[in-house]
Amino acid sequence: FNSLAKAAPKLNPQALQKAISAMQCAIRSGASDAQRLAVIDYSLPSTARRLWIFDLQRKTLLLQDLVAHGNKSGENFATHFSNRVGSYQTSLGLFRTQESYQGGNGYSLRMDGLEPGVNDQARERAIVIHGADYVNPLWSQRQGRIGRSQGCPAVRPAIAKQVIDKLKGGQFMYSWYPDRNLAKSSLYLNCQPRQVARILAANDR
């Protein structure tokens, strides 16, 4: 924590601590180690660079940039979150990145949500990392926010390939917001190794 916090002094320490705690719980419960960790602080406005990507081996910050939230989650600030198909809202919690692919939004990255009832519909909802023209700081000058997605953590097209290549293949991503209900109920933040192990085993099948 201290090394990553020093590398990213503008990242909310609570967001970083929760991300590390959730990741460490997953690893202690049987998940394979990761090389990188992405943290999104959704308490920040969309106009802020609220995505951080860390190299866990070197304990360095690789990237900090803009990231979109769902169009039903809020305007400049995301305040509503959902796991429901068709909600067009962002999901919180711990994700494991998987395979990259070429789709309707170009080069994209699929993820599995690891938190039951919180983000485990990510596959069904097609929640992926992809580049989008609306993730553009110029939008904020016109309408006070960048564009919004259908729930995906979309990034600027100029960095999409870099982000996806750094995160694909079994890295961790944590989407944070100061949500008391999640803090109380998360199997990862309140580490429950047996239950987490069952979730991880189901995802591996």
Question: 190 or 205, which is more confident?
Answer: 190
The percent of residues in the chain predicted with pLDDT above 90, rounded, is 96
Residue 31 has pLDDT above 80, yes or no: yes
| 203 pLDDT higher than 90 | no
The pLDDT, as a whole number, for residue 151 is 98
Query: What does the pLDDT read at residue 204?
Result: 75
Determine if the pTM surpasses 0.85.
yes
Instruction: State the Cα–Cα distance between residues 171 and 94, nearest whole angstrom.
Output: 11
Pair of tokens at residue 179: 């949500």
Q: Are 78 and 163 in contact (CB under 8 A)?
A: no
Indicate the pLDDT class of residue 205, thresholds 50, 70 and 90.
low
Confidence grade of residue 202 (pLDDT, cut at 50, 70, 90): confident
Long-range contacts at 144-147 (CB < 8 A, ≥ 24 apart): 144/47, 144/75, 144/76, 145/45, 145/46, 145/47, 145/75, 145/76, 146/46, 146/47, 146/66, 146/68, 147/68
pLDDT score recorded for residue 71: 97
Q: What is the DSSP letter of 68?
A: -
What is the rounded distance in angstroms from the CA atom of residue 55 to the CA atom of residue 34? Answer: 9
Query: What gap in Å lies between CA 94 and CA 183, rounded to an integer?
Result: 12
d(CA 56, CA 134): 30
User: Mean pLDDT across the chain, nearest whole number?
Assistant: 96
Give every CB contact of residue 118 below 8 A, 6+ residues apart in sequence.
Answer: 83, 91, 92, 93, 182, 185, 186
The Cβ-side half-sphere exposure at 169, using a 13 Å CA radius, reads: 5
CA distance 30 to 37: 17
pLDDT of residue 141: 86
Residue-level pLDDT at 162: 98
Q: For residue range 119-162, what is the model confidence (pLDDT) as tens digits?
A: 999 999 999 999 999 999 998 888 999 999 999 999 999 999 99
Q: Is the pLDDT of residue 23 over 70?
A: yes
Residue for token digits 């406005």? Answer: 45
Q: What is the pLDDT of residue 178?
A: 97
Q: Alpha-carbon distance 62 to 53, whole Å?
A: 6
